[in-house]
Structure 1
Amino acid sequence: MLVDSHEFHVRNLSYHVRSAMEMDAKSLSEVRVQVDGETENLDREKGEAYLDELGFRQLIKNDAEHNTSLFLVAEINNKIVGFSRCEGNNLNRTSHKVEFGVCVLKKYWGYGIGQNLLKKSLQWADSNGIRKVVLYVLETNHTAIKLYEKYGFEVEGILKKDKLLSDGNFYNTLVMGRFL
């Protein structure tokens, strides 16, 4: 599914949020690897579960053809600096919900990029009959948790000792949901 491009201005930084296009595939592959190496808030370490240009091209194509999925990118000067995805399905029992995920290059944290990707995704969900948005967030990612709560997400469950981080400790993952 496609959404209209929208421009944002935050502290001398301008960026666009728009639907991903197949021509973004190579950049998305590179950004994903970089983001995975910049934070432990995501599931993967740098280079794990690598998704190449062809893989992203197929993902973008599939999402554009289904009204229960949305793939957005944030770009500055035609360079992708973050992306988000709402992944749904057409199964009768779960077609009312999507799973949301987001990542932004560390250099661009604090400019509202993740927040605006989330806002656009929620607007899309609300206007397309999606009743529930689900996400997973590491318990130590307090900034993200506060953001999600601000937009109506609640903790629905805890996956105990779900992630083993570089400090050798296990951490919980929060399952959060927002129901329209």
Structure 2
Amino acid sequence: MMIRNIKVDDAERFLNLSKQLDEETKFMLYEPGERKTTLEAQTERISSILSSNNSMIFVAEADGEIVGYLGAFGSDLNRIKHSVHIVVGILQKYTGQGIGSKLFQELEDWARKQHIHRLELTVMSHNQAAFALYKKVGFEVEGIKKHSLIVDDEYVDEYYMAKLL
């Protein structure tokens, strides 16, 4: 298993991974079939991220397939350019194998080099596995976003979590 920065030619595999995650878990933002991203748009997005100083997508590759990712997305606005918002997705078949921890280590190494000071994310309050991972790698709950999402016709709270480097 290898962790690396995404490449432009990963666009199709990354888009397929995202769609597969939409299908197999309810912990991601998109519902099955809701993602309308085209291959061209995905390619452009990856190219834009790679040309940025404060955004990156790290992918986990196993057996020649992309099986997970961690996206760190920053802004060029002066007041928040020290911060990135994080999105993580790992295929169910590969969870519990340390991939998440390795993705976060890669993120931290990159963030320190980019002078990123704040890592932040949200997690559904009932996503115990992800919450445990985030706590393990040093994130702390900063607040609760009540009724943040609707999943299966039920309101779901999210925790705001962050880690300062």
- Report the TM-score when normalising by structure 2: 0.95
In structure 1, stretches of 5+ residues that fail to align are: 1-14
Structure 2 residue 120 is the aligned partner of structure 1 residue 134: yes
Cα distance per residue 1:123-163 (max 9 Å; x no partner): 21122210001101000111111211122211111110112
Distance 2:138 2:96 in 1: 20
Distance 2:103 2:37 in 1: 21
Map of 2:157 onto structure 1: 172
CA contact (8 A) 2:12 2:39 kept: yes
Structure 2 residue 68 is the aligned partner of structure 1 residue 93: no
SS at match of 1:100: strand
Q: Which moved more, 1:85-94 or 1:75-84?
A: 75-84
In structure 2, stretches of 5+ residues that fail to align are: none
Equivalent in 52, 57, 63 of residue 38 of structure 2: 52
Cα distance per residue 1:35-56 (max 9 Å; x no partner): 0111111111112133222122
Distance 1:21 1:132 in 2: 25
Structure 2 residue 161 is the aligned partner of structure 1 residue 163: no
Count residues with an aligned counterpart: 165
Cα distance per residue 1:7-45 (max 9 Å; x no partner): xxxxxxxx1111111111011111101101111111111
RMSD between aligned residues: 1.2
Map of 1:19 onto structure 2: 5
Letter matched to residue 170 of structure 1 = Y
Cα distance per residue 1:61-107 (max 9 Å; x no partner): 11111110111111112211111110001111110000011101111
Map of 1:38 onto structure 2: 24
Identity %: 33
Q: 1:89 to 1:152 in 2, by over 3 A?
A: same
